[in-house]
Amino acid sequence: MKIDKDSIKRIAHLARLEFDESSAAKMSKDMSQILDWVEQLNEIDTDNIEPLTTMSTEVNVMREDKVANQLSHREGLKNAPKSDSDYFRVPKVLE
């Protein structure tokens, strides 16, 4: 599939990218090659192949969540270096 410079300029505008004419020509060539490769992938018969959710054969060992040492909100605030009524006080992150 051939991508022309007008398509590249439109895509660049949508993606908020800026580049000069020589870069646009190279980008056009590169994107055309990528789309040609994707078209090759579309020719492969994948009807009897199940989709993969992971590339690993490892299996997660799951355990049941259990509540232990359940503290109240007030008890949790007692452990905080600084607190303000019902909230934890933390240093300011954003100016």
Q: Which helix (H) or strand (E) holds 13?
A: helix 5-14
| Whole-number percent of the chain with pLDDT over 90 | 16
The CATH topology of domain 5-42 is Histone, subunit A (1.10.20)
Give residue limits of the domains in the chain: 5-42
This prediction has a pTM of: 0.47
Per-residue pLDDT tens digits for 4-39: 888 888 988 999 988 888 888 888 889 999 999 999
The pLDDT assigned to 38 comes to 92
Question: DSSP letters of 17-57?
Answer: ----HHHHHHHHHHHHHHHHHHHHHHTS--TT-PPPS-S--
